[in-house]
Structure 1
Amino acid sequence: MTQPVQTPSTQPTPPDQSTRPPARTGLLGDLRTLTPAERGLWRMPLMWAAALAILFIPLIYVAVYLGSVWDPYGKLSALPVALVNLDDGTVYRGKSYNLGADLLQTFHEDPPAKFVRYPSEAAAQNAVRRGEVYFALTLPADFSRKAIAGSSSERGLLRLYSAEGTSYFASRVGSSIATAIASTLNERLGTNRWDTVQASLAQVQQGFADLRAGAAKLKDGAATLATGTGRLRTGAETLASGAAKASSGSLQLSQGAQNLSGGVGRLTAGVTRLSGGIRQLSARAPGQAQLQPLLTGAASLRQGSADLYGGLGKLSAGADSLAGGAKTLNTGVAQADAGAGALAAQLPALATGLTQLQGGAQNLSKEAADLNSGATRLGAGIGQLGSQGAGLGLNPTQLSSLQGGAGNLKAGADALAKGSAQLQGGAGTLAQGLGTAQAGAQKAAAGTAQLGSGTAQLRAGAARLQSGAASLAQNTAQAQAGAGKLSQGASSLENGLKTLVAGTLKVKSALGTIDQSLPAQSDLKTLAGGASTLASSSGTLATGVQGVSSGAASLARGAADADAGARKLRDGLNTFYSKIPARTETLGGDPAGLSASVQVVTEHTASVANNGAAFAPYFMVLSLWVGCTLTTFIFPYLLIAESGRRTGQLARVLRKFAVPAVYVVAQALLVVLGVHLLGVKFLHSGLLIFTAVAASLTFMLLVLALNLLLGAAGRLLALVLLVIQLAASGGSYPVELSSGFFQWLHTYIPVTDAINAMRYALFGSYEGQYGVFMLRMFAVALVSLAVALLSRRKWQYIADERFRSPLVLDVG
């Protein structure tokens, strides 16, 4: 505040002794001293007019602000809003829909705002930009078509166009109205779709029944299929096993056929060589005519050796007749020498023939053994061929022909084996006999050699007979012994020759029989060709049977897979059938219940009737602060009449506080009454009055302390605090939504406690905290009083007659 200007006409003169204020007489005396000047303020009509006007300012403040926010949502029907309906409608499932027209009808019956129709969306948006309307709602041409379709890819779009800068509240209202319209339309569309679903539900139920019946048939078919695939799998496994065995048998058959073909080839060659050898042997084998001289010579040899033995016996018996028998001896010796020479000449040829004959017999025995072995293997192969012919895949005619040919071939092979066995036996016997004959011939050759030597000696001895008669007995004995051996050898030779001749004749006859029994060359070629064809065909058969075996194995695996798949199909269809309900439940509920199955059940504490009632504590406290601040314009808080210069600080503070205190209490009561007349209901009326009075007195002490502490700047700081507390009190929005500075300040300003205490008195908020709020306000009041009592430097003194309200002096 500005200091008063001292003019000469108003400059107070120092009081003389007679006009000095009396000495202090205590607190009551100080109050009595200060009271006349303070009462003198009310002698001016302007003071009463100003005081009366300022008294009702808090009430006007509350009434104006609460009236402006009392119930804005209840007057939305007066809010100008642009509406553009371009919807062309649509036809869906044979039924026509026009959501735009239906919506206009709804707005006509219960308008949520004051709708102004515009011909186009651009015109409506221009109106919003010009401020003619607060927001615009547009229904596009395809609104019904997209909304009715109900597809998530495209929806009916209700376009909202608003200008938040023009009115943020109106833009929020527009969003709420658009959301409500969309909710209403969705509910209506849900009802229509509900009817469609209910109509289609019977078809769905019939479809489920048909589906269950079809699933039952599929289940039965799958069971039959599983049984069939099981049999198929068993048959395929059996086929695969048989094919594997057939493959193994075909390989054995192929190998046997190849062996047979090789054996037949060797048999054919052997038979051909055998036939040639037999013919040669038969041609070379001596006959009866060629062997007869040998028999005759052997007989003569036997007889001559017997005679020799007898003669030598006689020689040994009668040495006396030696001389008489010398002539006979010479004759006999000459004959013996001639016979021995002839015998010696024939015996080498006989020995050579016997050796050749023995070799031929041995070759014949060997060839007969080979022939017997080949014929045996041929018979076995032909028998196996006949037994396995059924596995060759031949038709019955081919199989019968093959088996017949195989039978004939086997019979011939058996006969050939039997004849070759007989031939082998005869050839063995012949070889043995020829060996014996050869041994005898060798012995005969040795004997004839000895005989030739003997006859030569005999001849020489005959010449020396007469001179060597003394040694005749000894030589005759030796000759007799040799003659005995010769006789025995000749007899054995004769017997061997007889056996040889008989065996040779038998062999010659057997060779002829064998030659006639052997197959012809053309038959052997046919047999060799058939064996070769059989080997080739059996190889092809083996390859084919292996392919069949592989295919059978694949078939078995496929059959196993098919069986497993059929079982899975059967099990899956059983599960599918069991999951299909025998009957479908009807769709319960209703469209509204299904579209809003979850609802919020709200229970309130500290209920508030409307927006105005909710803001009442906030504006009531601010109005009381404003009322206290305005008292600085009518009451001189810093001005002291000259008569009170000697008064104490406590008396001054109490006197400066007394009248404004009554004044602000009156303001508080008027504010409470005004709020009640506006329609706000009080939960605790007494507490509300008490809170309003306590808040006014606390604010008054704080304003007084600021003035006494800071002088004229205190009034300015009180206004600044008003602005700060508007943001920090949390009256309009939760303080947690403001910045950190305001959240910190919120705890320490008295307006916060006053608002919270009034909320408890009005609505019951902050249960159990009312006492805390009042104690903190009381603490602020005590601190303010202490500051006021300590503030002594800002007092201004003025003559009693000039003591006026700041309205007149502009001095505080």
Structure 2
Amino acid sequence: MKNFLLKKEFSAIIKNKKLLISIIAVLFIPIIYSGMFLWAFWDPYAHLDNLPVAVVNEDKGATFEGEELNLGDELVSKLKDKKDFKFIFVEKEEGYKKLEDQEYYMLVEIPEDFSKNATTLMDENPKKLDLIYVPNESYNFLSAQIGENAMVRIKASLSKEITETYAETMFDKVAKLSDGMKTASDGAGKLSEGAKELSKGSETLHKNLATLAEKSIQFHNGMNEASKGSKEVADGAASLSSGLSQLLEGHQKLQNAANELKTGSVSLASGMSQANAGIQKAEQSIPQLISGTEKLQTGAQTLSSSLQQWQIGAESAVQGAKKLNEGTVLLESNLKNIMPMLPPEKQQELQVALNSLKQGSAELANGTGQLANSAGQLSTGANTLSQQLGALKQGQEQLQTGMSQLAKAGSELETGANQMAAGQKEFVSGMSTFGQKFAEAKDGSVRLAQGATKLAGGVNQLTDGSSQLADGSDKLEEGAQKIAEGNSKVHKGNRELAEKLADGAKKASSVDADEKTYNMMAEPVKVKNEKLNEVPNYGTGFAPYFLSLGLFVGALVLTVIYPIREPAAVPRNGFSWFFGKFGVMAIAGLIQAIISDIVVLGVLGLEVKSVPLFVLFSIITSLAFMALIQFLVTMFDNPGRFIAILILIFQLTTSAGTFPLELIPESLQHFHAFLPMTYSVKGFKAVISSGNFSFMWENFMILLIYALVFMVGTLIYFNAVHKRRFSAAE
């Protein structure tokens, strides 16, 4: 009875209700472990609309091409229609506070310059549109990664919309460009005609430049003469400056004399006023003298004495009048040298005053002379006054006439003296102003001398420049010849340009843009996702990993509750011992695999390429894990279980069930090829998603080899132990 020990093992399990219940529970460990994970993460993206995400719109809008642009509002409107997340639209302060309080997984902020930056594409320094994405990674890291992928899609959508706006504007510019090219074509035609005229003008320019070259030589010769003359001007300016210095000194002396003359003229005017007052009084006394002639007879003696004194005063007055006349003549002589310096109107006024003064002084001298003569006659005839009253009366009448003339001349002399004093005052003031201007003239002469020196230097440089001008004129003549030739080519080129612009305008006007054109410009490349062996959801993608993990854990837990080393009865040999233990584990592993397959296929709805092959591969995977763990626990007991846990940990990281192998540390990649879960994951992927059954069978055979190797190892161990323990007892 080859299966004797196997029956004993099952009989012992059935009899031990506690063990039986434990083993039955263990049979569901793989599906509880793997099925729960697959169920929980079967398709998490299908529930993103339950993930709360805050949206803060700070955009203030902008104006683009005369139209209002509010990308922030448009984005908010689109997000309200989308079901990517549970979008909650809040104010900035509230959004960040609740994000910190873990009420939101992430926050999307639309800055205030969002629309404004969209209008800067054509600017010298265009600005990108910042869309601020703030995940709370401490709340849930994977949600942050999911949100980042969603932001990429939002960015692509916004980029398309903005590019459509720019494309529409660009095509409008193309239409305007067409009109501009037509205008440019017409202008190019006119430019061609102008170039033709320019060509003619350049020939004329060439002739004129030849004349210029000839005249520049003459100009150079003239500049040599000008250089000599400028040196003479500099020398003359220096002499002028020296002469003005001497003249300024003479002017100072003349001004001092004028001040003295001003003082004398004031004194003269004062004296003339007093003399005129006396004459006026004398004139008023003559009528009384005539009326009192009769009384004079009695006072002849007294009159004789008085007339003698009067004669002496009259003679003195005659001498003073003569001196006044002589002084007036001398003043006129002195003023003749000064008068040309005065303004013409002042000269005329001064001359009139001098003439009046001369006439008055002459009349004064004549009158005082007559007065002296009369006084003498009166003095000599005083004794015979009474006898010659008729003659005295006649003489008194003559005296009255002379006194009237004298009074008139005195008044005129007083007026002239006052005018002379006023004129002299103005003359002194003019001399002061003249002195100031003379000083400025002297300073100007100094600057003139300096400028003349600089002029001489500049003329020398100009002379050198005229030489260079002559050389340049020759070169200009040569250049003008080349310009004439170039203008001829420009004429031909402009004619060709006009033709090409007309063709370009025709082609540009043929562009007919619409919404489809704008859309194509905004999204010229459309990624067509043609998936190879499409995986519909996370559950399908992770099924190979979690199924392998569940079956391995189920095998490991079974060794905890089932006595994997001690036989239910005395084994005949090591083979029956091994078969009894492995048989129980194999049947348990078979049941675990079938239960797991039923749940993932029937309950979770896992779609596979072949159900029979999927079930078959699940069974070989379970048996391979059972064989491995049986070997470790049988050989080492609890340390063996610890080794199995270490293998499980290594398999979690190196089996490439989650992240690609190339993304894990290189030091861990070396364990990949030596662990059985590597091949179970590959085989499950082939039978579930790719349908590459040859690849599945390849991994199936590797797992079968794992199973056989560890089964043989366990068999060898049981044979060795059986010989030591039971052979001696027999």
TM-score interval for Structure 1 and Structure 2 normalised by the shorter chain = 0.5 to 0.7
Within 5 Å, give how 1:400-419 maps onto structure 2: none
- Which residue number in structure 2 is paired with residue 716 of structure 1? 642
Match of 1:104 in 2: 76
The alpha carbon displacement at 1:185 in A equals 2.6
- Aligned mate of 1:75, from 26, 30, 47: 47
> Which residue in 1 is equivalent to 2:276?
none
Q: Structure 1 residues 224, 660: closer, same or farther in 2, change over 3 A?
A: same
Secondary structure (helix, strand or coil) at the match of 1:191 reads helix
Give the 3-state SS of the residue equivalent to 2:55 in structure 1: strand
Instruction: Quote the residue 1:209 is aligned against.
Output: 182
Matched, 1:639 2:566: yes
Which AA in structure 1 matches 2:704? Answer: F
1:52 aligns with 2:24: yes
Describe the superposition over 1:700-753 as per-residue Cα deviations: whole angstroms up to 9, x where unpaired. Answer: 111111112112222222222112101010000111111123211111111111
1:657 paired with 2:582, answer: yes
Tell me, yes or no, if structure 1 residue 84 matches structure 2 residue 50: no
CA contact (8 A) 1:695 1:777 kept: yes
Contact 2:631 2:711 in 1 (8 A): yes
Quote the residue 1:140 is aligned against: 111
| Deviation, structure 1 residue 680 | 1.8
Change (3 A) 1:84 1:780: same
1:287-326 alignment, distance < 5 Å: none
* Matched letter for residue 776 of structure 1: I
Q: In 1, are the aligned partners of 2:6 and 2:583 still within 8 Å (CA)?
A: no
Q: 2:479 aligns with which of 558, 579, 582?
A: 558
Instruction: Give CA deviations for 1:574-628 in whole Å, capped at 9, x if unaligned.
Output: 5644543141141555222112212233332222111211111111111111111
Q: Name which of 584, 588, 599 aligns with 1:674.
A: 599
- 1:169 partnered with 2:142: yes
Q: Which residue of 2 aligns with 1:361?
A: none
* Alignment-mate amino acid for residue 143 of structure 1: F
**Counterpart in the other structure of 1:771:** 697
CA distance in 2, matches of 1:167, 1:571: 74
Amino acid at match of 1:616: A
Structure 1 residue 561: deviation in Å? 4.1
8 Å Cα contact 2:167/2:522 also seen in 1: no
Q: Which residue does 1:747 correspond to in 2?
A: 673
Give the drift of 1:788: 0.5
| 1:47-76 deviation line (CA, Å, top 9, x unaligned) | 332222211121122221112221122211
* 1:666 shift after superposition: 1.2
Q: Specify the code of the residue in structure 2 equivalent to 1:140.
A: P
| Match runs of 1:186-225 below 5 Å | 186-225=159-198
Q: Take 2:505 and 2:535, find their aligned partners in 1: how far apart are those partners?
A: 56
Counting aligned pairs with the same residue, the percent is 25
Q: Quick one: which amino acid aligns to residue 129 of structure 2?
A: G
Question: Could you tell me how far 1:564 is from its partner in structure 2?
Answer: 4.8
CA distance in 2, matches of 1:241, 1:149: 56
User: CA deviation digits over 1:84-124, x for unaligned, max 9?
Assistant: 1222233434433333333322222224211233322x442
Partner of residue 756 from structure 1, selected from 663, 679, 682: 682
Evaluate the alpha carbon distance shift between residue 62 and residue 551 of structure 1 in structure 2; reply closer, same or farther with a 3 A threshold: closer
The count of corresponding residues between Structure 1 and Structure 2 is 471
Q: Deviations over 1:371-427 (max 9, x none)?
A: xxxxxxxxxxxxxxxxxxxxxxxxxxxxxxxxxxxxxxxxxxxxxxxxxxxxxxxxx
Partner secondary structure for residue 670 of structure 2 = helix
Q: 2:625 aligns with which of 682, 699, 721?
A: 699
Distance 2:154 2:527 in 1: 20
Map residues 74-473 of structure 1 onto 2, 5 A cutoff. Answer: 74-120=46-92, 122-150=93-121, 153-230=126-203, 232-233=205-206, 235=207
* 2:2 pairs with 1:35: no
> SS in structure 2 opposite 1:132?
coil
Partners of 1:148 and 1:189 within 8 A in 2: no
2:423 corresponds to: none
Q: Which residue of 2 aligns with 1:408?
A: none
Normalising by structure 1, what TM-score? 0.53
C-alpha distance in 2, partners of 1:575/1:53?
A: 94
Q: CA contact under 8 A between 2:567 and 2:581: conserved in structure 1? A: no
Q: Which shows bigger deviation, 612-621 or 632-641?
A: 632-641
**What is the DSSP-based 3-state SS (H/G/I as helix, E as strand, rest coil) of the residue aligned with 1:96?**
strand
1:558 partner amino acid? G
In 2, distance between residues paired with 1:90 and 1:546? Answer: 64
Q: Compared with structure 1, are the counterparts of its residues 656 and 53 closer, same or farther at alpha carbon in structure 2 (3 Å cutoff)?
A: same
| SS, match of residue 683 in structure 1 | coil
Mark the structure with the bigger radius of gyration.
1
Q: Is the 8 A contact 2:607 2:688 kept in 1?
A: yes
Q: What residue in structure 2 maps to residue 280 of structure 1?
A: none
| CA deviation string 1:195-241 (max 9, x = no partner) | 434444432211111011111211222233234424644x4697699
CA distance in 2, matches of 1:147, 1:551: 56
Task: Confirm or deny: 8 A CA contact 1:639 1:797 kept in the other structure.
Answer: no
Unaligned runs of 5+ in 1: 1-27, 251-544, 800-812
- Give yes or no for contact 1:691–1:758 (8 Å, CA) kept in 2: yes
- Which residue of 2 is the match for residue 629 of structure 1? 556
Provide the TM-score with structure 2 as the length reference. 0.59
The residue number in structure 2 matching 1:458 is none
Check conservation: 1:640, 1:795, Cα contact below 8 A: no
Report the equivalent of 2:288. none
Q: SS where residue 567 of structure 2 aligns?
A: strand
- SS across alignment from 1:157: coil
Determine if contact 1:236/1:559 at 8 Å carries over to the other structure.
Answer: no
Amino acid at match of 2:115: S
| Matching of residue 573 in structure 1 with residue 545 in structure 2 | no
Which of 656, 660, 670 lines up with 1:734 in the alignment? Answer: 660
Letter in 2 for 1:736: E
SS at match of 1:141: coil
Show the counterpart of 1:598. Answer: 525
Specify the code of the residue in structure 2 equivalent to 1:213.
Answer: D
SS of residue in 2 equivalent to 1:639: coil
Equivalence for 2:228: none
| Whole-angstrom CA distance in 2 between matches of 1:704 and 1:161 | 51
Is contact 1:236–1:552 with CA below 8 Å preserved after alignment?
A: no
Relative to structure 1, the CA distance from residue 782 to residue 88 in structure 2 (aligned partners, 3 Å threshold; closer, same or farther) is: same
Tell me, what secondary structure is at the counterpart of 1:747? helix
Q: SS at 1:713's partner residue? A: helix
CA RMSD of superposed structures (Å): 3.3
Q: Deviations over 1:415-450 (max 9, x none)?
A: xxxxxxxxxxxxxxxxxxxxxxxxxxxxxxxxxxxx
Q: Match of 1:791, SS?
A: helix
2-side partners of 1:618 and 1:547: how far apart?
94
Cα separation, partners in 2 of 1:156 and 1:764, compared to 1, 3 Å = closer
